[in-house]
């Protein structure tokens, strides 16, 4: 029984997958505009008088007038439009020899769809959206059908394929040229099928995507630029996570801050994992333009678009002592930020004077250590040399004294 259910399940999955990856065929009936006939631009279009046998004598009129478009001819009761152009559109009616209306139709001209252009983006790890555009102006009513199929990565996944692995990519009527796949799986790959359909035919695009490659967060929100009191060269900048990005410990963002004075076109850029930074090289008395963008902390995907520009100017007034400025620059003004998961060697940009002082003091300490070590080493070498020289002098003196003593002894005693 289980094997039978498994086989039926595989057949269903296979049929749905074929439907997803096969271009749609278009029936002859568009079904939206009654009494409308569609023709292809640049091609010959033949209009037939409904209810009249072929070869009957009829009188054709265009928009109520007897004058017909150029390069048009009536053959056996049918109206032939050669190489039809947009100017040939309109209402056509056929009449008998007495002028009685037999039938009428509205002619609309356009082109067959070509392969649409499609791109996809994931604003977070829970869902992704695809966007498309027609490759050619068809001049006709158009529909889009968007579907997806999850691609199995291993043989085991192929055996466990589920009907839920394929489906329609949901379209929002407010955004007719896009669709969204909800509850997507981050480590999975998908095949998207976007089919463009109009009364003359259809065309489709297949696109293979991987979630990690299309991650692109929305811009950070709540960007604020504030002066640091009595610090004419400092600006405190803070921002918040985009509301579309869930705040989860294993899915963090890093940020890129760019700023410039309004009189300059060159940007200064700082990369950080914090939600605030202090600009220490602002121009005194000038407005500055500031923007920020975000990216997945592990470098998946691409950077977000820049946030809207925010302007701010440093404070003007009496300056503080350097230590007071540093204290004011790093003093928190709101709730403490959540701890970052950045590794110790992650690039975090700090601009406070306290950090600079610590770095300078550390450098001076290391330098003093090496100088002291060099002095002690030199003193030790001199001590060893002096001690060695003293031993040699003592030994030489002892030998000389012994020789003098032996010379003073009587010869007989020496023998």
Res 360 pLDDT > 90 = no
Q: Say what the pLDDT of residue 224 is.
A: 97
Q: Say what the pLDDT of residue 158 is.
A: 58
DSSP 337: P
Q: Say what the pLDDT of residue 11 is.
A: 40
Task: Check if CATH label 3.40.50.620 holds for domain 42-110.
Answer: no
Q: Which residues pair with 93 in a beta bridge?
A: 61, 104
Q: What percent of the chain has pLDDT over 70?
A: 71
CATH topology of domain 113-214: Immunoglobulin-like (2.60.40)
pLDDT in tens, 43-54: 999 999 988 888
Better-predicted residue by pLDDT, 336 or 301: 301
Beta carbons of 190 and 181 less than 8 angstroms apart: yes
Q: Which residues pair with 311 in a beta bridge?
A: 289
Q: How many CB atoms lie within 10 A of CB 125?
A: 20
Q: Which residues pair with 180 in a beta bridge?
A: 129, 170
Of 12-21, 33-42, 397-406, which one has max mean pLDDT?
33-42
Q: Say what the pLDDT of residue 164 is.
A: 59
Q: What percent of the chain has pLDDT over 90?
A: 52
Q: In this predicted structure, which of 165-174, 366-375, 383-392 has the lowest mean pLDDT?
A: 383-392
Q: Say what the pLDDT of residue 14 is.
A: 41
Q: Say what the pLDDT of residue 157 is.
A: 55
pLDDT in tens, 272-325: 999 999 999 999 999 999 999 999 999 999 999 999 999 999 998 644 444 444
Top-level class of domain 221-356? mainly beta
Res 178 pLDDT > 70 = yes
Q: Which residues pair with 94 in a beta bridge?
A: 60, 103
DSSP string, 341-392: ---TTS------HHHHHHHHHHHHHHHHHHHHHHHHHHHHHHHHHHHHHHHH
Q: 79 by DSSP, 3-state: which?
A: strand
Q: Which of 177, 194, 65 is nearest to 131 (CA)?
A: 177
Residue 387 binned pLDDT confidence (cut-offs 50, 70, 90): confident
Half-sphere exposure of 96 (CA within 13 A, CB side): 6
Task: Decide: residue 175, CB within 10 A, 0-12 exposed, 13-18 middle, 19+ buried.
Answer: exposed
The whole model's pTM is what?
A: 0.62
Q: List Cα–Cα distances, 376 to 164, 362, 363, 364, in angstroms.
A: 76, 21, 20, 18
**What does R_g of the chain's alpha carbons equal in angstroms?**
43
Beta carbons of 125 and 251 less than 8 angstroms apart: yes
Average pLDDT over residues 1-24: 41
Give the separation between CA 45 and CA 279, rounded to whole angstroms.
69
Q: How many CB atoms lie within 10 A of CB 200?
A: 19
Average pLDDT over residues 153-174: 72
Give the separation between CA 224 and CA 330, rounded to whole angstroms.
16
> Helices in 118-215 by DSSP H: which ranges?
155-159, 211-214
pLDDT in tens, 110-154: 999 999 999 999 999 889 999 999 999 999 999 999 999 988 665
Cβ partners under 8 Å of residue 305, min gap 6: 218, 219, 293
Q: Say what the pLDDT of residue 191 is.
A: 94
Under the phi-then-psi rule, with left for phi > 0, alpha for psi from -120 to 50, and beta for the rest, what region is 311?
beta
Cβ partners under 8 Å of residue 202, min gap 6: 23, 24, 25, 26, 113, 195, 196
Q: Domain spans of the chain?
A: 42-110, 113-214, 221-356
Res 238 pLDDT > 90 = yes
Q: List Cα–Cα distances, 352 to 106, 162, 164, 231, 406, in angstroms.
A: 74, 56, 53, 12, 82
Average pLDDT, the chain: 79
pLDDT in tens, 214-223: 999 999 999 9
Q: Say what the pLDDT of residue 370 is.
A: 78
Q: In this predicted structure, which of 21-35, 234-248, 334-348 has the lowest mean pLDDT?
A: 334-348
Beta carbons of 178 and 266 less than 8 angstroms apart: no
For the four alpha carbons of 273, 296, 177 and 134, in that order, the dihedral sign comes to: positive
Burial track 115-124 (b if 16+ CB lie within 10 A, e otherwise): ebebebbbbb
User: Do the domains spanning 113-214 and 221-356 agree at the CATH topology level?
Assistant: yes
Q: How many CB atoms lie within 10 A of CB 181?
A: 25
Between β-strands 253-261 and 235-240, what pairing exists: parallel, antiparallel or unpaired? unpaired
Q: Say what the pLDDT of residue 389 is.
A: 67
Give the separation between CA 80 and CA 372, rounded to whole angstroms.
104
């Amino acid at each position: 029984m289980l094997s039978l259910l498994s086989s039926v399940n595989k057949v269903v999955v296979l049929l749905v997958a074929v439907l997803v990856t096969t271009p749609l065929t278009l029936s002859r009936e568009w079904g939206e505009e009654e009494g409308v006939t569609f023709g292809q631009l640049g091609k010959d279009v033949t209009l037939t008088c409904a209810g009249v046998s072929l070869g009957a004598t009829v009188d054709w009129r265009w928009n109520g007038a007897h004058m017909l478009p150029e390069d048009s001819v009536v053959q056996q009761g049918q109206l032939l439009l050669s190489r039809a152009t947009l100017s040939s559109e309109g209402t056509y009616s056929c009449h008998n020899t007495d002028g009685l209306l037999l039938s009428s139709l509205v002619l609309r001209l356009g082109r067959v769809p070509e392969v649409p252009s499609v791109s996809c983006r994931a604003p977070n790890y829970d869902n992704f959206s695809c966007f498309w555009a027609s490759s050619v102006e068809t001049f006709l009513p158009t529909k889009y059908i968007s579907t997806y199929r999850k691609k199995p990565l291993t043989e085991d996944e192929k055996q466990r394929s589920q009907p839920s692995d394929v489906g329609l990519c949901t379209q929002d009527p407010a955004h007719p040229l896009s669709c969204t796949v909800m509850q997507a799986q981050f480590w999975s790959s998908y095949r998207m099928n976007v089919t463009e359909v109009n009364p003359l035919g259809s065309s489709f695009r297949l696109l293979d995507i991987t979630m990690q490659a299309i991650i692109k967060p929305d811009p950070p929100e709540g960007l604020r630029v504030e002066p640091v009191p009595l610090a004419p060269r400092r600006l405190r900048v803070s921002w918040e996570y985009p509301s579309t990005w869930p705040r989860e410990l294993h899915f963090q963002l890093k940020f890129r801050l760019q700023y410039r004075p309004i009189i300059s076109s060159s940007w200064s850029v700082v990369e950080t994992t914090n939600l605030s930074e202090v600009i220490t090289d602002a121009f005194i008395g000038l407005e500055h333009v500031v923007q920020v963008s975000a990216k997945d902390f592990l470098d998946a995907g691409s950077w977000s678009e820049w946030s809207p520009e925010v302007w701010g100017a440093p404070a003007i007034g009496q300056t503080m002592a350097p230590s007071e400025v540093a204290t004011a620059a790093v003093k928190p003004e709101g709730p403490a930020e959540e701890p970052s998961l950045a590794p110790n060697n992650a690039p975090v940009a700090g601009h406070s004077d306290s950090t600079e002082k610590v770095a300078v003091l550390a450098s001076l300490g290391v330098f003093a250590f090496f100088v002291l070590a060099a002095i002690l080493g030199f003193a030790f070498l001199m001590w060893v040399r002096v001690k060695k020289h003293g031993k040699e002098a003592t030994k030489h003196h002892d030998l000389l004294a012994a020789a003098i003593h032996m010379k003073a002894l009587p010869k007989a005693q020496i023998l």
